[in-house]
Amino acid sequence: MNGTDAGGQGGTVDQPTKRGLRRDFLAVRRGLTEDDARKAAAVLAGHALELPELATAGTVAAYVSVGREPGTRVLLDALHARGTRVLLPVLLPDNDLDWAVYDGEDSLVGVAHQGKMPLLEPAGRRLGPDAVLEADAVLLPGLAVDHDGTRLGRGGGSYDRVLARLERAATDPALVVLLYDSEVVAHIPGETHDRPVHAAVTPSGVRRFR
């Protein structure tokens, strides 16, 4: 999707540190050129498509990258072309996520949510927030991940809700975050509700956790 992702909703002790980390990682991303981002997106897609979790997935929940986020558009088109059912998020007023099927580049529309950066969202029929429970793999946006698989999001709460929904339903899809190499770090402040990711895909390859 975009930068509507979240790192946490509680844990006030860690929040100032997380805010600082978010600021620093976003500053580095803003320094990337368009050419840097385009080249990284192509390499990321190649690595991600080799993941067994994506190769065997019937349904993948993903997102449309925006700005200098690690690009997902090449990956979305490749998954769609090989017959994978791709779900993309639609931001709801309460920051929760609805879902719709990706049907190619022409199925995306620009949306301006109040107080949010412009997003690209799927124009198709809304399937409801629980549609993510059908996913065999979930691609998560993030700003960083540590060696234990703790993911740092943007702090909006959207993906905390997605992960909590998956946990309540006792589903266990592969959780994969797409990042730049410098965003895999030694430690991210964690909170009790954090759910570690299984893998991070960066331009240099795949890093697995648990």
The residue ranges of every structural domain in the chain are 15-208
> Is 126 annotated as a binding-site member?
no
Q: What's the predicted TM-score (pTM) here?
A: 0.88
pLDDT tens digit sequence for 166-206: 999 999 999 999 999 999 999 998 877 778 999 999 999 99
**Mean pLDDT on 98-126:** 90
64 is in an annotated binding site: yes
pLDDT band (50, 70, 90) for residue 117: confident
Determine the pLDDT at residue 14.
Answer: 45
Residue whose token pair is 């570690």: 196
Amino acid letter at 166?
L
**pLDDT at res. 115:** 67
Q: What is the pLDDT of residue 4?
A: 41
Which residue has better confidence, 7 or 60?
60
Please report, for residues 13, 122, 139, 200, the alpha-carbon distance to residue 161 in angstroms, rounded to integers and kept in the order given: 21, 20, 14, 20
Q: What topology is assigned to 15-208 in CATH?
A: Rossmann fold (3.40.50)
User: 18: annotated binding-site residue?
Assistant: yes
How many beta carbons lie within 10 A of that of residue 156, not counting itself?
18
Residue 69 labelled as part of a binding site:
yes
Mean pLDDT value of segment 88-113: 93
Residue 156 among known ligand-binding residues: yes
Q: Which long-range contacts (CB under 8 A, 24 or more apart) does 10-14 make?
A: 10/191, 10/192, 10/193, 11/189, 11/191, 11/192, 14/189, 14/190, 14/191
